Amino acid sequence: MRVTYIYHSCYLIELAECSLLFDFYKDVPRGDGSVWIEDYLLAKERDLYVFCTHSHADHFNPFVLTWKKAKENIRYIFSEELLQSGSVKEGDALFLKKGEMFKDHRLSVKAFGSTDVGGSFLVRHDDKLIFHAGDLNNWHWNEEVNKREALAFENSYLCELELLSEATNRLYMVMFPLDPRLGKEYMKGAEQFVTRIKTDYFLPMHFGEEYGKANRFEGIAAEHGAVFLPLSHAGQSFKLE
């Protein structure tokens, strides 16, 4: 398995017989004059699954829907919020509400909730569970709102986290926000996540250009038995077992 950080909340996961792309925002260079998605991924023969958790512009680029012109073996799996928001049309994708599932001969996908719009996805491939959080996080904003509001935001997150933990107590890979805009406790939601659910690999996202701040979570992840994949640039790849 190869995992590549594309940009923001977008990750590419390349498996033996297919590829998974989550929350594409914009393409990035590969270092040889080409770009990751249009030049590399769309040219691969393997089947491609394109996931989108919600319609925010930093998670959904409508350009993804043009890819089916260049690649026939592509499947779009979106949160139903994209349809409700008017960002896409009925026939553009398979839309999942919270709690709904998709299954084919190689993947099973279940939609979970979010503490913002849209949802999150739990993907099973063989014996591995992969979770992309979308905008699910403890958006406490405790340096900007009063204590009561901050606690309400946190409780909403903990409820969603509990629902996920009821489905599984261990995840192979988690893609989760580490957003420094939250202030001093920007890692709180991520720490609550790895405390509640055993995580093998933790992949940071939603941190903009603040690579150093995202990578500060490495020590906390290690305390809970998770391998943190530190990032230094867009288009960075890792080979995993």
Q: How many CB atoms within 10 Å of residue 104?
A: 11
> How large is the average pLDDT for residues 165-176?
98
Q: Does 2-239 carry CATH code 3.60.15.10?
A: yes
pLDDT band at 31 (very low <50, low <70, confident <90, very high): confident
User: What pLDDT is attached to residue 241?
Assistant: 77
Q: Dump pLDDT digits (tens) for 145-155.
A: 999 999 999 99
Q: Is the CB of residue 191 less than 8 Å from the CB of residue 166?
A: no
What are the structural domain ranges in the chain?
2-239
Report the C-alpha gap between 47 and 49 in whole angstroms: 7
